[in-house]
């Protein structure tokens, strides 16, 4: 769907030009998330094949469709297989709903429909992302609550809103499992999603987008007003400014969480999927730096410094012509948009060589 969300060159768009590049960065990271449904690599990762022992009990029930596969696995103590199947199914199901909301939100923002864009953020970033974080942190515990106990209050994300420390602990444990995670702060991710007092967070503004009148002291409707109904052009521009300051952080983080769950099923000798994992992590890193270049309000690190570090440490050898390629900022930006870094001598894609991907992994 990048072609719909992506703004090509100087096309005639209602979105102010200053947000075009961030919009396009969001479109690419959105596409990264949807690859879980489109790339064949994920199909091999997220399919589960079970070989049943010939001596297993009541196999005829399963063969005759007299019992659901999950109940059958539970009754026969095949909890590891049950856990894997449910983890993959929940990941794909939640991610599918997640990307539907995010696509519509990004598309509305691109069209300057800021109220609708914000209204669509609440479910994916507060509810669904929290479920995915729990699945990443401890899928055995999550599957036990979801399937074996089955009572919704045990896994309902809204029950956890009242306990700040539980949510922060979940975010902290989730970020600790991410590779190239130095730009994810548990407090910052929490503030962006849940903190009512955080001006740039989505909690207050999404509530105002969803409700015509709000009475919470942190985002109370002003007198003789309705939320967002009387917004003028300047108000909408300010809302878009906040949107493109906030949402990219959460998109990068969400893509990392989803991929980390999916790639947790990689087998030790699966070189192809391990390479894909590294390249997608590297792409998010580059994209995040490009985003912070456009983000004039907050910067988590010096962009030029990071590109300098990469340039000093990444020299790619072309196995086609044996040329050693020094890298620079333009190479990394090109990689973010095209998925390749080409040899300066023979134009071969340098990232199809495993040794070069290993070099990236060392960063």
DSSP E strand stretches across the chain: 315-317, 324-326
Among 273, 268, 253, 86, which Cα is nearest to 184's? Answer: 253
> Residue-wise over 300-329: b if at least 16 C-beta within 10 A, else e?
eeebeebbeebeeebebbbeeeeeebebeb
Decide the pairing of beta strands 315-317 and 324-326. antiparallel
pLDDT in the model for residue 301:
47
pLDDT in the model for residue 230:
67
Q: Using CA atoms of 57, 58, 60, 66 in order, give the dihedral in degrees to the nearest 10.
A: -150
pTM score of the predicted model? 0.91
> Residue-wise over 27-40: b if at least 16 C-beta within 10 A, else e?
bbbbbbbbbbeeee
pLDDT in the model for residue 42:
92
Digitized pLDDT (tens) for each residue of the chain, 363 residues in all = 557 899 987 666 899 999 999 999 999 999 999 999 999 999 888 987 776 665 666 676 666 666 777 877 887 787 888 999 999 999 999 999 999 999 999 999 999 999 999 999 999 999 999 999 999 999 999 999 999 998 998 888 887 556 888 999 999 999 999 987 667 788 999 999 999 888 888 988 887 777 788 777 677 878 767 767 767 788 888 889 999 999 999 999 999 999 999 999 998 788 999 999 999 999 999 999 999 888 765 544 455 678 888 898 899 999 999 999 999 999 999 999 999 999 999 999 999 999 999 999 887
pLDDT in the model for residue 61:
66
């Amino acid at each position: 769907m990048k072609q719909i969300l992506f703004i090509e060159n100087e096309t005639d768009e209602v979105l102010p030009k200053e947000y075009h590049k961030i919009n396009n960065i969001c479109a690419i990271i959105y596409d990264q998330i949807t690859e879980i449904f489109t790339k064949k690599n994920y199909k091999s990762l997220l399919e589960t094949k079970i070989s049943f022992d010939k001596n297993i009990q009541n196999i005829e029930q399963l063969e005759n469709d007299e019992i659901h596969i999950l109940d059958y696995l539970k009754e026969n103590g095949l909890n590891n297989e049950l856990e894997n199947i449910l983890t993959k199914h929940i990941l794909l199901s939640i991610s599918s709903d997640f990307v539907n909301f995010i696509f519509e939100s990004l598309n509305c923002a691109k069209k300057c429909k800021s109220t609708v864009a914000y209204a669509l953020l609440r479910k994916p970033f507060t509810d669904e992302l929290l479920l995915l974080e729990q699945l990443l942190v401890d899928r055995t515990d999550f599957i036990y609550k979801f399937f074996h106990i089955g009572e919704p209050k045990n896994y309902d994300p809204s029950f956890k809103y009242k306990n700040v420390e539980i949510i922060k602990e979940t975010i902290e444990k989730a970020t600790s499992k991410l590779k190239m995670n130095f730009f994810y702060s548990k407090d910052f991710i929490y503030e962006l999603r849940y903190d009512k007092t955080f001006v740039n967070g989505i909690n207050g503004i999404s509530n105002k987008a969803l409700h015509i009148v709000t009475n919470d002291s942190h985002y109370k409707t002003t007198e003789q007003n309705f939320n967002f109904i009387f917004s003028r052009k300047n108000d909408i521009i300010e809302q878009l400014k906040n949107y493109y300051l906030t949402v990219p952080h959460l998109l990068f983080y969400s893509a990392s969480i989803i991929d980390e769950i999916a790639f947790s099923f990689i087998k030790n000798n699966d070189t192809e999927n391990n390479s894909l994992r590294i390249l997608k992590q590297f792409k998010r890193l580059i994209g995040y730096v490009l985003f912070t270049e456009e983000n004039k309000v907050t910067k988590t690190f010096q962009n030029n410094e990071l590109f300098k570090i990469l340039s000093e440490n990444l020299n790619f050898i072309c196995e086609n012509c044996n040329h050693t390629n020094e890298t620079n900022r333009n190479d990394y930006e090109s990689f973010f948009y095209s998925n390749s870094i080409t040899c300066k001598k023979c134009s071969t894609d340098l990232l199809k060589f495993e040794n070069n991907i290993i070099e990236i992994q060392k960063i």
